[in-house]
Structure 1
Amino acid sequence: MTTRSIAAVVIGRNEGERLLRCLRSLQGQVQQLVYVDSGSGDGSPEAARALGAEVVELDLALPFTAARARNAGLAALRKGIEFVQFADGDCEVDPGWIAAAAAFLQSHPQAAVASGRRRERFPDASVYNRLCDAEWDTPAGEARACGGDALMRVAAIYTAGGYRETLIAGEEPELCLRLRRAGWQIWRLEAEMTLHDAQMLRFGQWWQRSRRAGHAFAEGAALHGAGPERHWVAETRRALLWGAALPAAIVLASLVHPLLLLAACIYPAQVLRLSRRMGNEQALFSVLGKFPEASGALEFYWRRWRGKARGILEYK
C-alpha cells in the first residue's frame, strides 16, 4: 500500500503545539492531509497551512461537533482516496501505524475500521490522565466500536451515511454500529497507534468529560437502544441507577428515619467489589463517575423534552 490512496483528516480547536505535533507525525505517511478547524482563536488554521495541510474552517453560524468536523474532512478528500486516517488534534500518530493498518484493511476486505493502541502521553501527570490511558487499553480482535483515532475505509463510511453530525459525543460508536449493521467489521489491532495529550489535571475537567459521556450514553440509547444491539442501554441505566435513583431514594428514606442514611454504604461496598477486577483507583472513579454521567443523561432527557439540542461540552 502506497500513500497515494491514503489521506488523513485531523480535527481540532485551539490545540496549539499539540496540533503541530499531530500534523508533523502525518507528513510523509499520507497523500492528502486535511485539517478541519472548529473556530480556533489561536492561529491553528494558519499554522496548519504552513505545514502543508489543506484547511477547512467550519461555518461559525452552525453548532460545532466532532462529527460535523469529520464529515467536512471527508467531503474535502480527493478522488481515489481509499483509506482515511482520522485523528484528533491533540494526538501524535505512530510512525508505523498507518502502513500496518492499511495492510490489514487490504487483506481483510470486510473490515471497515482498524484502530490500535492509543496511549496517554503523560499518564503520571494526574489520576485523570491515568484513567484515560486505562480506558483506551481495550482487547485486540474484532470489536464493536473504535475511538476518534482510526484508519477507515472511505467507501464503507459513505455506505453507512457518514457521521451523525448532531451528536456532541459518542459519534464513533454510533457510526460503527451502523457499519456493523451493513455487514462491515471493526477491528482493534495489537499495534501502537497514537499518543494523546489529555491535559486533564483538575477534578472539574474529569467531571465534565464524564458528564459528556453520560449525555452520549443517553442519546445513543435513545437512537438505537430498541435495536438488537441495545446500544448503550445498560450504560445509561447504570448511570441513572447509581448516580440519580439510589441517591434520591437514600435521601428520601433518611427523612423517614436518619439511620437509613447507612444505606449509602452501598457505594464503598461497590468500590470494594469492583476493585477486585479493576484496581482501587479505577474502581473508585468508576463509581464516582456515575454521578456526572447521570447528570449528563438527565440533561439530555430534559433538553429533548424541551426540544432543545445541546452544544459541544468541552473539558479543556
Structure 2
Amino acid sequence: MESLGVVVIGRNEGERLRRCLSSIPRDMVAAVYVDSGSRDGSVALARAMGWDVIELAPSLPFTAARGRNSGFGYLVQRDPGIEFVQFVDGDCELVDGWLDRARFELQKQPDVAIVAGRLRERDREASVFKRLCDMEWNVPSGEVESCGGIFMTRAKAFSQVGGFEPSIVAGEEPELCLRLRRAGWRVLRVIEPMATHDADMHRFSEWWKRSVRYGRALARGVDLHGTAPEHHCVRPLLSAFLWGQFLPIAAVTCAITSLWFPSMLKALVLVPLAYGVLGARIYLYRRRLNDPPRHAALYAVFCILSKVPAAVGIASNWWQRWRTPCLGLSGSLAVHGEPGIRS
C-alpha cells in the first residue's frame, strides 16, 4: 500500500488513541499523527509507538479541519506518490480490511473523490447517547452528498479543491463534499464496516453541547454557501429554527395571551400536535431503516429535543457573526501543511 497514507488527528484521547493507532497497519501505509494541544501524554504515546507526529501551534484555533489539512500536507510533501489518504479521528479504530476495500473502490471508480463505510459506536448499549450515535451513523449507502470525518479520499481531488476550510469548527466535511461535487467529483458510501467510534458520551449535558455544536455548524454552512444554488445547510437550519425556537416561543406567547384571550388556547393545542406529527414521521423513517420500535421512538424523541440546542447554536453563531462579520472562506486552506514540531 505504498501509495496510501493515513492521517490521525486527536486531542486528549488517552487510551482511545492507543487503540486507534494500534488498528492501523503501519508497515503497509505512510502515516502521521496530528495533535491539537493535548495535555494527557498523547504526543509521547504516539512517538513511543513509532509514529511521525505534528504538534499544531497554539497561535491559531485548533480545528479538526486544520489538523487534517496539516497531516495531508505532511504526507504528500514526504511522498508525492501518495494517491489516497485515509482520515481517522483519534477516538476511532479502523476495521481490518477497510483500507483495501476503500482503495479498491477509488481505483475502480476514477470519478469518486471520497469513500466512506459503516461507522459503529463502541459499546453502544453503555448509554442512551452512545446508542443514538450508532443510530445516527446508520444511513443508506450509495452516492451521497456528504459524509463524516472518517473516510478515504483521492489525494488529487482533495488537493484540487484546497482541502478542508480550516476556520470551520464543526461541519467541515459537508462543506468539503459540496466543493468536491461542484468540481465534478462524487462521494460514495459503501455498506461495509469502516471503523468503530467511542463517543464516551454518558451525560445529557454532553449530548446538549454536541447538539449546540451542530447548530453552529449549520449556521456556518449557511454563512458560506447558503445563497448558492445548493442552498447548503439552509433546510436543516430552518428546521432547527422552526422547531427549536419559533414554536416554543409561540407556545409560551399563546399561553400568556390566553389569560386575556381564552380563544388563544385553541392555537396552543396545535403546537403539541405539530410536534407529534414530526415525531411520527421520524419514527417511520427509522423503522424503514430496520430500527426496532423502541429504538426508533427513542431516536424520534431526541431528534425533536435536539432542535432546541441546535437553535441555541445557530443564535450563538449569528451573535458571533454580528460581532466579527468577516466569516467568509479563508482563501488559504493550508493543504501543504504548516509549521509544527515533527519527529
* TM-score bucket (shorter structure): over 0.9
- Aligned equivalents of 2:27 and 2:247: distance in 1? 51
AA at the equivalent of 1:68: R
Equivalent in the alignment of 2:46: 48
Cα drift, residue 102 of structure 1: 0.3
Deviation at 1:230, TM superposition (A): 1.4
Superposed counterparts of 1:6-21, under 5 Å: 6-21=4-19
Q: What is aligned with 1:105?
A: 106
Within the candidate set 20, 29, 32, 1:22 is matched to 20
Higher RCO structure, 1 or 2 (CA under 8 Å, sep 6+): 2
Q: Is the 8 A contact 1:34 1:56 kept in 2?
A: yes
Name which one, 1 or 2, has greater alpha-carbon Rg: 2
Alpha-carbon spacing, 1:262–1:167, altered in 2? closer, same or farther (3 Å): same
Aligned to 1:234: 235
Stretches of structure 2 that go unaligned for 5 or more consecutive residues are: 260-264, 287-295, 328-343
CA contact (8 A) 1:7 1:30 kept: no
In the TM superposition, what are the counterparts of 1:37-186 in structure 2 within 5 Å? 37-77=35-75, 78=78, 79-186=80-187
- Aligned residues between the structures: 308
| Mapped pair 1:265 → 2:282 | no
Answer yes or no: is the 8 Å Cα contact 1:29–1:98 preserved in 2: no
C-alpha distance in structure 2 between counterparts of 1:9 and 1:163, whole Å: 14
Cα offset for 1:127?
1.1
The offset of 1:276, in angstroms, is: 2.9
Letter matched to residue 70 of structure 1: R
Once the 2 structures are TM-superposed, how far is the Cα of residue 256 of structure 1 from its aligned partner?
1.3
Tell me if the contact between 1:250 and 1:263 (Cα under 8 Å) persists in the aligned partners: no
CA displacement at 1:264 relative to structure 2: 4.0
Give the match's secondary structure for 1:283: helix
Alignment CA distance shift 1:200-1:268 (3 Å): same
- 1:117 touches 1:189 (CA, 8 Å); kept in 2? yes
Closer/same/farther in 2, CA of residues 309 and 87 from structure 1, 3 Å limit: farther
Q: What is the distance in 2 between the residues matched to 1:28 and 1:199?
A: 26
Structure 2 counterpart of 1:303, which letter?
A: Q
* Residue 253 (structure 1) shift: 2.0
State how far apart, in whole Å, the 2-side matches of 1:277 and 1:31 are.
Answer: 40
Looking at structure 2, the residues matched to 59 and 148 of structure 1 have their Cα atoms a distance apart, in angstroms, of 22
Kindly provide the CA deviation profile for residues 273-293 of structure 1, in whole angstroms up to 9, marking residues without a partner as x.
432332211110110000000
1:274 aligned partner, one-letter code: I
Distance 1:137 1:253 in 2: 39
TM-score of the two chains, using structure 2 as the length reference:
0.86
TM-score, length of structure 1 as denominator length: 0.94
AA of the residue aligned to 2:129: Y
CA distance in structure 2 between the aligned counterparts of 1:29 and 1:298, rounded to whole angstroms = 47
* Residue 313 of structure 2, aligned match among 277, 293, 296: 296
Q: Secondary structure at the match of 2:125?
A: helix
The CA distance in 2 between the partners of 1:30 and 1:222, in whole Å, is 41
The answer for the alignment partner of 1:314 in structure 2 is none
